[in-house]
Amino acid sequence: MTTLITKRQFITDVEGNPIGVILPLSEYALVEPILAQQERATAVDKLAQMKQAINDPLFMADLEETMNAFANADAEWWESAS
């Protein structure tokens, strides 16, 4: 019977900087609750940012510019020829 031993493996970019890690499941189980908590916090932060976007003049200007840029294309797509 062959025993497989998995060790931590670091993933690096082309310049040799660490950008990720592969963990054995036993080590992942130790950090998984922290990762899940971080995901929830990130979602809460994103929702708060979306709620504040209407008060951001730069965001609103970009939104209006984008909507105007697509006004003709939207009209052609959604309006029927009949």
pLDDT value, residue 72 = 78
**Assessment of whether the complete model's pTM goes beyond 0.75:** no
Return mean pLDDT, the chain: 87
Of 57 and 78, the structure prediction assigns the larger pLDDT to 57
Per the model's pLDDT, the better-predicted residue between 12 and 37 turns out to be 12
| E strand intervals along the chain | 9-12, 18-22
Give the separation between CA 11 and CA 30, rounded to whole angstroms.
Answer: 20
- pLDDT, one tens digit per residue, over 20-53 is 999 999 999 999 999 988 888 888 888 998 899 9
Q: What is the pLDDT of residue 75?
A: 76
The DSSP element (H or E) to which 44 belongs, if any, is: helix 25-52
Amino acid at 55: N
